[in-house]
């Protein structure tokens, strides 16, 4: 178990996961009002809050997170929905090509602060895997923190362009400050070309 995995596991087990708000971000709710229902993949799905919202909007949804406690809680949260409408997997998003059970091509990919935390050596493969999982014209909603000096987490806007274009085009980018941790952040909407 690496240090990041251990830290996230411990924080879920001790209920010290402030990112797990049980609230789907308004950016996701807004995009769901614009898109016809289809299939979605939530990367770093945690306890399944966004998946629940997707299911409530008639989507089929799969989720991946590397913390078993989070996946167990997601299973509990989603138990009221038909089993054929969702899957949640305990697996690393850095190794999506080894995950059996995904149902591509997806219409929508969602990464809310997940990919920017994987090992930098895996970034290009992560971007390539995502490009292979989404249909042409599909939407990718990406939320990132920009890096800070004392952390290896985060992507700059240049990192996002380098990793995801030309497979994706950037439709919009909204810069803000994540007030929970006082870091510059960006919401991206990308489209698979």
Q: Cα–chain-centroid distance for residue 183?
A: 19
Q: Which of 141, 133, 111, 92 is nearest to 45 (CA)?
A: 111
**pLDDT at 183 (0 to 100):** 84
The structure tokens 């991946």 sit at 64
Split the chain (193 residues) into runs of 10 and give each run's mean pLDDT: 75 79 95 98 97 98 96 97 98 96 98 93 97 98 90 90 97 90 91 98
Q: Which of 93, 182, 100 is nearest to 142 (CA)?
A: 93
Strands 134-145 and 183-192: antiparallel
Q: What are the structural domain ranges in the chain?
A: 27-192
**pLDDT at 152 (0 to 100):** 73
**pLDDT at 42 (0 to 100):** 98
**pLDDT at 1 (0 to 100):** 57
State the pTM of this model. 0.93
**Right CATH number for 27-192 from 3.40.462.20, 1.20.1250.20, 3.90.1140.10, 3.40.50.150?**
3.40.50.150
DSSP at 108:
E
């Amino acid at each position: 178990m690496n240090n990041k995995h251990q830290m996230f596991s411990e924080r879920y087990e001790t209920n010290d996961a402030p990112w797990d708000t049980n609230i789907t971000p308004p950016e996701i709710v807004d995009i769901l009002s614009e898109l016809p229902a289809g299939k979605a993949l939530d990367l770093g799905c945690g306890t399944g809050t966004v998946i629940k919202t997707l299911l409530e909007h008639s989507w089929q949804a799969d989720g991946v997170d590397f913390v078993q406690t989070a996946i167990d809680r997601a299973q509990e949260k989603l138990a009221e929905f038909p089993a054929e409408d969702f899957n949640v997997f305990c697996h690393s998003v850095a190794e999506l090509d080894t995950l059996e059970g995904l149902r591509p091509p997806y219409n929508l990919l969602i990464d809310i602060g997940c990919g920017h935390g994987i090992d930098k050596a895996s970034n290009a493969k992560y971007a390539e895997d995502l490009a292979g999982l989404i249909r042409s014209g599909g939407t990718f909603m990406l939320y990132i923190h920009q890096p800070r000096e004392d952390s290896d987490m985060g992507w700059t806007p240049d990192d996002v362009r380098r990793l995801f274009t030309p497979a994706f085009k950037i439709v919009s980018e909204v810069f803000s400050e994540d007030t929970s941790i006082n870091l510059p952040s960006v919401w991206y909407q990308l489209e698979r070309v």
